[in-house]
Structure 1
Amino acid sequence: MKSPLEVAMDIGIRELRDGLSRYLDAVKDGRTVTVTDHGKPIARIVPVGEPTRLERLRAEGRIQPASRRKRPAPEPVAIAGTVSDLIDDQRR
């Protein structure tokens, strides 16, 4: 098994553009390529067969998919007056 240092590599945008085929071959071999812009990570190229973080969390049983779909927000209620007026009415 490869160590994390052997699996991941950071490269700049220009370097990626100039050697795209080489870096895609590295991804095919199981390596993860992190693309940087002025030293800041902006994207990650990972092998397709590698599960996403969400997929790993589901497989570990640490998260579950929602049991039902999220309901849409209700329609806004048309009112006359201000919120302060509504609060005063509720307090009476």
Structure 2
Amino acid sequence: MEIGVRDLRDHLSRHLAEVRSGRSVTITDHGNPIARIVPVDRLTALEQLRKEGRIQPARKRKQTTTEPIQGGGIVSDLVDDQRR
């Protein structure tokens, strides 16, 4: 079921009742889908893949990035220098 933002705002209780009954509601803004409200007991695609054992969580956390290097000059000149 697709509904616009205004319709969601004006009839929120009715749309939440649809979700409670097991249906998904896609929210659109000027006809473009922007969000989806789904029942809590329904697994997301990522959760389903984990459950099936097709993917697994990362073993270690992402490493922090290093401090940015301070450069001098105009960016286009720096890029031009690297192309040589």
Query: How does 1:10-21 map onto structure 2 within 5 Å?
Result: 10-21=2-13
Amino acid at match of 1:19: H
Distance 1:77 1:20 in 2: 49
Q: Which structure's CA Rg is the greater one?
A: 1
What stretches of structure 2 of length at least 5 have no aligned partner?
A: 71-77
| TM-score (norm. length: structure 1) | 0.67
**Which residue is equivalent to 1:42?**
34
- 1:28 is matched with which residue: 17, 20, 32? 20
Using a 3 Å threshold, how does the CA distance of structure 1 residues 77 and 12 change in structure 2: closer, same or farther? closer
What stretches of structure 1 of length at least 5 have no aligned partner?
A: 1-8, 85-92
* Aligned-residue RMSD, C-alpha: 2.5
Distance 1:69 1:33 in 2: 34
What displacement does 1:37 show?
0.8
Distance 1:76 1:16 in 2: 44
**Which residue is equivalent to 1:59?**
51
- SS of the residue corresponding to residue 65 of structure 2 reads coil
| TM-score (norm. length: structure 2) | 0.73
